[in-house]
Structure 1
């Protein structure tokens, strides 16, 4: 059907018609590409983005180079906390200071690359009262931080557990089923001092339905020092508070834990 009208047209018009169509498609692609490029450039300028490029930094050398433009958290790099101050000239706490956004981005990158769960992560501001006589955070305080992070991670399981999810978060003692801590081993890697903020991430592993237990590996990162401060290995058991004995790991709980461990 298209051939006859085109034959009747002058040669110049018949040739220019498909060229015009191609030009319109090329123009649409150009606008779409321009939008994607601008979006990517905005990520390069955002300190909270993994794509952030600080002044003087360069991107990957080639498309095959999947390294980041800056050293990841935990690598041997000189890190100086930002000197931002509030109006009264008192130092800002790290969790309130935007100068630490770049560290936050690299810490979460490190957690992701080491298989930690993206859900249930906590940023915990260190309290001055948690310090001991040597100005280091007291060893017991670390365990409290880990305890709160573990509870936050368990709470993140509730939406995935569906109807039985609320059974594991009943606050009233002596009812239903829940998770209890069987044992934990803590390794102190770096002495944290006030002021600081800690980012804590968890990941489950070694799920054992027969014994109704599983393990949680936890890592704690110091924003001020930009280094790993603590690791903890915890064993959690499902407990029946009605019968005051070890509970049973249901298929729903088993499947959710395995899915989180494999993510």
Structure 2
């Protein structure tokens, strides 16, 4: 399967975040599942910052897939810089991306991943077109 990488990603948010002691596993590094939590936290903080609050009974974003590539181990007490990007708006979806760096090593990506975001109508339980305001943000 060929993965299409977008030519242009729009940088939309930065978040500084500490590695917590409990994020580590028996191997002494951050457990891989935590990277998805870090990216989720960055994505949700960005969405809230643009007025896209969770709406369990209305319309809003839902993740339909997610991935992460791991390049360097992270450990407590690293301080992280998570940078969120968006790209490829479609009729009902857009792509979100995140890089994870140590603040002490700017520009060195320790992990990178992303997620496809689909806009859904919770009451109808189906995809809905991206609202114009969201399309403008992710374009």
> What is the TM-score with the length of structure 1 in the denominator?
0.47
* Bigger proportion of residues as helix: 1
* Bigger proportion of residues as strand: 2
Aligned residues: 131
Secondary structure, counterpart of 2:130 in structure 1: coil
CA drift of 1:225 comes to 4.7
- In structure 1, the residue matched to 2:133 is 252
Larger relative contact order (Cα-Cα within 8 Å, sequence gap ≥ 6): 2
Work out whether 1:231 is the aligned partner of 2:112: yes
Could you say what the CA RMSD is over the residues aligned between the two structures, in angstroms?
1.8
Q: Distance in 1 between matches of 2:9 and 2:65?
A: 22
- In structure 2, the residue matched to 1:134 is 27
User: Structure 1 segments of 4 or more deviating over 6 A?
Assistant: none
- In structure 2, the residue matched to 1:75 is none
Distance of aligned partners of 1:237 and 1:219 in 2 relative to their CA distance in 1, 3 Å threshold? same
Secondary structure, counterpart of 2:123 in structure 1: coil
Secondary structure, counterpart of 1:136 in structure 2: coil
CA drift of 1:153 comes to 1.4
Work out whether 1:122 is the aligned partner of 2:15: yes
Larger Rg: 1
Secondary structure, counterpart of 1:148 in structure 2: helix
CA drift of 1:185 comes to 1.5
Structure 2 stretches of 5 or more lacking a match? 1-7
